[in-house]
A and B are shown apart, each in its own frame.
Chain A
Amino acid sequence: MALMFTATANIKKAVSLINQLDAAKFPRLLQRILQKLHLRDDRSFSEEEEEMLQQALGLQGGDLQLVLETTAFVLEQAAYHSAKPAVLEEQLKNIQLEEDKISVFVKAWSANGKEVILKLRKRTLAPDQLESVNWRLNLQMAQASQTKMKLPNAMFELGVRHDDDTREKVRMEFTHDELYNFYSQLETIQEQLDTLGS
């Protein structure tokens, strides 16, 4: 397959920095980056955490950034190509990464790779997402203009989450017929999903 990483100057520098790192500290770093990979935030670590990392790893500000970015990039590429651990190992050997670091990468990827890919699959661009479905079934007995009715109706409350994490509730009401119409349309959607094989 195509090379995941071309040996640019930045990559070479990052590789030499990573190779110098203490192998004991590396796995935890990788784990943390893996966990946050599917989120859209650019920063895996907060400011204080980055300061602590600088101390722990003995790297200056710019170098630390490079190491973090490159590690994240390696993992992103592995996810993009859905690479198997063996393939990842090959590609990392190509950019001259050291054996012990390679094995750390491969181990972390074998353990968590599938999960990361799954999470990335579910990532979408749409602004609002349906979050919750609540309902209530009523029997209307009377109103101002009519007594002794027996009218069942259902109220639905759909919780929609916006991009900026604000939530909105969409409330609507259905009579028996209206609900049946809605259900027929949902059934049509289900048929479509079935033909896709999901």
Chain B
Amino acid sequence: MSIIQVQSSKAGGSSALADRTPFYGTRLPSELKAMVKELKKLDKKTFRSLLTVAVSALEGADVDTKSFTDLQTNGMTEDLINIIYSGLLSTLRLALRLPQTSLKPELFKEDLKELNIPEEFIVDLASAVFGGKRTNLDASALDSRSRLPTLQNFRWRVDVGISTSALNRVLEPTILMEMTLSDGRIQTFEVPVSKFHELRYNVAHVLREMESLEKRNVLKIQD
């Protein structure tokens, strides 16, 4: 058996598929498989509303159970809706993972065709992934990433000590910093002037490194 034949039997398609992996990976996820089986029972309107719900969920909005119960009309059982919805979410997630330079709309449509998804649904799915909402979806994926706490609020003040109980004439500047982090912690501390210079130097250094990194890696790392 040649390699081409083995791959075709997995994706059920032509030899055009032999050279690259589909957008969903080397194995077809089970929820996609389940969805494809049930798609024929779906009408266009229901499909479109489920797709809209999935897109808004990926944008970060809360999903109301009402949007699902509304669709439970003639012939649309809750199970059916669940299967289709989870399949839709998976499809969208897997497609959105790849940047637009990697996954072109034509290839996406081709992969969906190989799965025997009806043509009109393919059009809807492609417009969801590559249409106007793409920037929003990318932005919300970026926002929801796991991060260390970030600096949310930074307050500071510079004092000059004039006199202390130990010295009549001090005239020494001190810097007080209050940092509020995104996890709620508030850290107040004093910074001796020498440490401040060290901090400033380090921040400038890292900033410069970041800029040169951004310039460099645009050229080096190809998709």
Contact indicator B210/A148 (Cβ below 8 Å): no
Contact indicator B99/A128 (Cβ below 8 Å): no
Q: How far is it, in angstroms, between the C-alpha of A146 and the C-alpha of B170 when the chains are bound? A: 56
Chain A neighbourhood of B218, CB < 8 A? 150
Contact indicator A179/B190 (Cβ below 8 Å): no
Contact indicator B161/A160 (Cβ below 8 Å): no
Contact A179 B202, CB 8 Å, known A139-B217, A172-B149: no
Q: How far is it, in angstroms, between the C-alpha of A146 and the C-alpha of B95 when the chains are bound? A: 10
* Contact among B154, B173, B187, B190 for A182, CB-based, below 8 A: B154
Query: Does A174 sit at the interface, judged by CB under 8 A?
Result: yes
Contact indicator A82/B151 (Cβ below 8 Å): no
Q: How far is it, in angstroms, between the C-alpha of A192 and the C-alpha of B207 when the chains are bound? A: 22
One of A18-26, A46-54, A55-63, A129-137 at the interface: A129-137
* Contact among A123, A145, A150, A154 for B141, CB-based, below 8 A: A145
Chain B neighbourhood of A151, CB < 8 A? 142
* Contact among A38, A148, A173 for B102, CB-based, below 8 A: A148
Contact indicator B207/A183 (Cβ below 8 Å): yes
Q: How far is it, in angstroms, between the C-alpha of A156 and the C-alpha of B188 when the chains are bound? A: 16
Q: What's the minimum C-beta distance from B143 to chain A, rounded to whole angstroms?
A: 10
Chain B neighbourhood of A137, CB < 8 A? 206, 209-210, 213
Q: Number of B residues contacting the other chain (C-beta, 8 Å)? A: 64
Interface of B is mostly: mixed
Q: What's the minimum C-beta distance from B210 to chain A, rounded to whole angstroms?
A: 5
List which B173-223 residues lie within 8 A (CB) of chain A: 173-177, 179, 181, 185, 187-193, 195-196, 198-200, 202-204, 206-207, 209-211, 213-214, 217-218, 221, 223
Contact indicator A174/B154 (Cβ below 8 Å): no
Q: What's the minimum C-beta distance from A159 to chain B, rounded to whole angstroms?
A: 10
Contact indicator B207/A180 (Cβ below 8 Å): yes
Chain B neighbourhood of A147, CB < 8 A? 97-99, 102
Q: How far is it, in angstroms, between the C-alpha of A126 and the C-alpha of B189 when the chains are bound? A: 7
* Contact among B160, B161, B223 for A124, CB-based, below 8 A: B161
Query: Does B9 sit at the interface, judged by CB under 8 A?
Result: no
Q: How far is it, in angstroms, between the C-alpha of A197 and the C-alpha of B3 when the chains are bound? A: 76
Chain A neighbourhood of B73, CB < 8 A? none
Chain A neighbourhood of B168, CB < 8 A? 80-82
Chain B neighbourhood of A189, CB < 8 A? 156, 158, 175, 196
Chain A neighbourhood of B173, CB < 8 A? 193, 196, 198
Contact indicator B181/A172 (Cβ below 8 Å): yes
Nearest A residue to B138 by beta-carbon distance?
A: A146
Query: Does B93 sit at the interface, judged by CB under 8 A?
Result: yes
Chain B neighbourhood of A131, CB < 8 A? 195
Query: Does B45 sit at the interface, judged by CB under 8 A?
Result: no
Chain B neighbourhood of A160, CB < 8 A? 187, 189
Contact indicator A130/B167 (Cβ below 8 Å): no
Contact indicator B148/A171 (Cβ below 8 Å): yes
* Contact among B148, B167, B172, B221 for A150, CB-based, below 8 A: B221
Residues in chain B within 8 A of chain A (CB atoms): 93, 96-99, 101-102, 138, 141-142, 144-151, 154, 156, 158, 160-161, 164, 166-170, 172-177, 179, 181, 185, 187-193, 195-196, 198-200, 202-204, 206-207, 209-211, 213-214, 217-218, 221, 223
- Chosen A-B contacts, 26 in total, with CB atoms closer than 8 Å, are A82-B168, A117-B167, A121-B167, A122-B192, A123-B166, A126-B189, A129-B191, A135-B202, A135-B206, A137-B210, A145-B96, A146-B138, A151-B142, A158-B199, A170-B179, A172-B148, A172-B179, A174-B151, A176-B207, A179-B207, A183-B207, A186-B196, A189-B156, A193-B173, A193-B175, A193-B196
